[in-house]
Amino acid sequence: MSVFESFRDKIFRVADPDARVRVSREEINSFARSGNDFIRIPQGQEVIVREVFLLDNGAAAGRIFALAQAADGSALGWTSTRNLAGSFRNETLGLVKPGRGAGRFGPNAAWSRGKYLGQIELVKIVSTDLKIRHIALGTIDDYTTMSVAAAEAGIRLTVNSGFRSYPEQKFLWDGYQRKLPGFNLAAKPGISNHQSGIAFDLDVAGGPGNQTYDWLAMRGPDFGFFRTVNREFWHWECDPIRARQLASINTFKTSNVIV
């Protein structure tokens, strides 16, 4: 299994009792706009995903379809990944390389502390809200290893936001500055560590006492992740060297506590 395309040839189980199938990509678009009857996949059937296709036709923008094959090898067709158990969260969908002549404000341009760092490769990943986000190639192994360990502990770890391009960060900054509804605190474009590729906003509902947060606080440093923004329980950064240093400092402090 490729770390860039974790979905490929993996077995999923159909969870939706009304899971529908389209025969071709063209039918994905036509059926999305019509009331035609659909072929259905039985709930509970196991399928293998061969390919993925991102539908972008307005109302259904961002919906991800999978070319599903029955586990016994028989052909099925294209179906929404929302029909599959787990809804495809955390699956990686491919590598995004910088385009020829990519510039300082392009989709792969990395920034740190107001300085342009250069172009980096990104990995597409399905976020908590079932949209496609990006994370830096240099962090994919650490994040994947951590998410697998979390799953083994009964914790579902998913991404709300990862790498952000300069225009994406500018959009968030402008909304925050203008105090628009739905916009939270955001760093100026060029400054945020989301633009350097090390920052992750993880799906953590609350701070200490939340199961996911407590697991991250205890195990995150083992995988190179630690918190850096005091008021943001969800903001974690991938820096294995600093994580090891912080872990050793905390261990030292703990070992010197008199109880």
pLDDT tens digits, residue range 161-216?
A: 999 999 999 999 999 999 999 898 899 999 999 999 999 999 998 889 999 999 99
Q: Is residue 74 part of a domain?
A: yes
Q: At what angle do helices 211-219 and 140-152 cross, to 10 degrees?
A: 120
Answer whether residue 163 is part of any domain.
yes
Whether residue 237 contacts residue 193, with contact meaning beta carbons closer than 8 Å, is answered with yes
Distance CA 103, CA 14 (A): 43
Residue 107 lies in a domain: yes
In the prediction, which pLDDT does 231 show? 86
Q: What secondary structure does DSSP assign to 8-27, as a single string?
A: TT-EEEB--TT-EEBSSHHH
Pick the last residue of a domain from 83, 109, 134. 83
User: Quick one: 27 and 76 in the same domain?
Assistant: yes
Average pLDDT over residues 10-18: 92
The verdict on 205 and 155 lying in the same domain is yes
Q: How many structural domains is the chain composed of?
A: 2
Q: Residue 253: pLDDT above 80?
A: no
Which of 217, 194, 195, 34 lies closest to 105 in space, CA to CA?
Answer: 195
Task: Give the mean pLDDT of 30-53.
Answer: 79
Same domain, 34 and 96: no
C-alpha 244 chain-centroid distance: 24
Q: Between 131 and 55, where is the model more confident?
A: 131
Residue (of 81, 74, 63, 57) closest to 8 by Cα position? 81
Instruction: Clarify whether residues 216 and 142 are in a common domain.
Output: yes
Q: What pLDDT, on a 0 to 100 scale, did the predictor assign at position 54?
A: 87
Can you say whether the dihedral through the CA atoms of 210, 214, 215, 216 is positive or negative? positive
| Domain contains 64 | yes
Q: Encoding tokens for residue 162?
A: 């990862």
pLDDT at residue 135, as a whole number: 97
What is the extent of the structural domain holding 241? 92-254
131 plus 15 within the same structural domain: no
pLDDT given for residue 184 in this prediction: 86
Query: What DSSP state is assigned to residue 84?
Result: B
* Sequence-separated (6 or more) residues with CB below 8 Å from residue 143: 135, 159, 200, 223, 225, 238
Shared-domain flag, residues 62 and 171: no
pLDDT digits 0-9 by tens, 111-166: 999 999 999 999 999 999 999 999 999 999 999 999 999 999 999 999 999 999 99
Q: Are residues 202 and 250 in the same domain?
A: yes
Q: If you average pLDDT over residues 240-258, what whole number do you get?
A: 61
6 inside domain? no
The residue ranking higher by pLDDT, 248 or 192, is 192
Q: What are phi and psi of 150, to 5 degrees?
A: -65, -45
pLDDT in tens, 64-122: 999 999 988 888 899 999 999 888 999 999 999 999 988 999 999 999 999 999 999 99
Count other C-beta atoms under 10 Å from residue 252's C-beta: 9
Query: Dihedral of the CA atoms 23, 26, 28, 31 (nearest 10)?
Result: -90
Whether residue 254 is predicted with pLDDT greater than 50 in this model: the reply is no
DSSP 177-203: HTT-TT----PPTTT-TTTTT-EEEE-
Residues 248 and 218 in one domain: yes
Average confidence score pLDDT of the chain: 88
pLDDT band per the 50, 70, 90 thresholds, residue 218: very high
The residue among 40, 59, 83 that closes a domain is 83
Q: Are residues 135 and 201 in the same domain?
A: yes
Position 4 in a domain = no
CATH code of the domain in which 154 resides: 3.30.1380.10
Q: Please indicate, yes or no, whether residues 36 and 102 belong to a single structural domain of this protein.
A: no
Would 1 be classed as within a structural domain? no
At which of 59, 83, 107 does a domain end?
A: 83
Q: Which residues pair with 13 in a beta bridge?
A: 46
Same domain assignment for residues 55 and 96: no
Establish if 187 belongs to a structural domain. yes
135 and 198 in a single domain? The answer is: yes
